[in-house]
Amino acid sequence: MLPTVILPGYLESADAYLPLQQALTEIGTPTTTVPLRIRDWLPTLGGRSMVPILRQLDRTVNAALVDNSSQQINLIGHSAGGWISRIYLGEIPYTIYGDVTTDAVGLWNARAKIATLITLGTPQISCEKLTRKNLDFVNDHYPGAFYPDVKYICVAGKSIYGKKQFGHCLIYSSYQMICGVGNTWGDGITPVTAAHLAGATNITIQGVKHSPNTAGIWYGSPEVRPQWVGYLS
């Protein structure tokens, strides 16, 4: 199997993904997690540029290629890590914030390095003002499973229905900010309808919650992994 790199979700640290990293390595895909700490996300708050994350992603991918004498990797993006990965694959310069120029190296145009992209609970769309600028860039330039030479696997969790009532308001609001509808199924953060891409292999798993730090099962739990790890190259 090819080596694998995991890109954590928004405001998550690499430590939360160590059990998944170890489990994947044990089945034959040498796996590394982008070594993010929570403070590494701070420059991106408020819908700002993802360049700091893209830089760390590129360093990790290049190290995985060299360390494993490989030409390609599998890339797993959890939550926001999924759409950030789509920026990384694409050839259009990510200069919408003016913090880098079009001749920057390693922040985009990386699809030749990626055999398979697996997104776990990724909000592929957004109706929320702060995140919409980034996601509009992604979806305007790379709609759906855009590159035919990359395998796209999009995994959604279906565990919690959003209701506009006490105890469910935060979930309802999250779903509504992402897809415009609060009364829908999702993983507690990302609604099912927003986690899939046209043309991808789209999977919905019952009972799965969004975060590795949430009580219950999440995308990387032992009882859930078999439903998507078979798609790794």
* 161, HSE (Cβ side, Cα atoms, 13 Å): 3
pLDDT of residue 164 exceeding 90, the answer is no
pLDDT tens sequence across 16-48: 999 999 999 999 999 999 999 999 999 999 999
pLDDT of residue 168 exceeding 80, the answer is no
Q: Is the torsion defined by CA of 176, 183, 8, 201 positive or negative?
A: negative
Does the structural domain 4-156+190-231 have CATH classification 3.40.50.1820? yes
pTM greater than 0.85: yes
User: Mean of the per-residue pLDDT values for the chain?
Assistant: 97
Report the pLDDT value the prediction gives residue 32, as an integer from 0 to 100: 98
Report the pLDDT value the prediction gives residue 169, as an integer from 0 to 100: 86
Name which of 3-12, 142-151, 162-171, 188-197 the model is least confident about. 162-171
Pairing between β-strand 185-186 and β-strand 160-161 as defined by DSSP bridges: antiparallel
What percent of the chain shows pLDDT beyond 70? Answer: 100
pLDDT tens sequence across 89-111: 999 999 999 999 999 999 999 99
pLDDT tens sequence across 118-131: 999 999 999 998 89
Measured CA distances, 231 to 28, 66, 202 (Å): 13, 23, 11
Across residues 6-13, what is the average pLDDT? 98
Q: Kindly report the CA angle at 141 between 117 and 102, in degrees rounded to 5?
A: 95
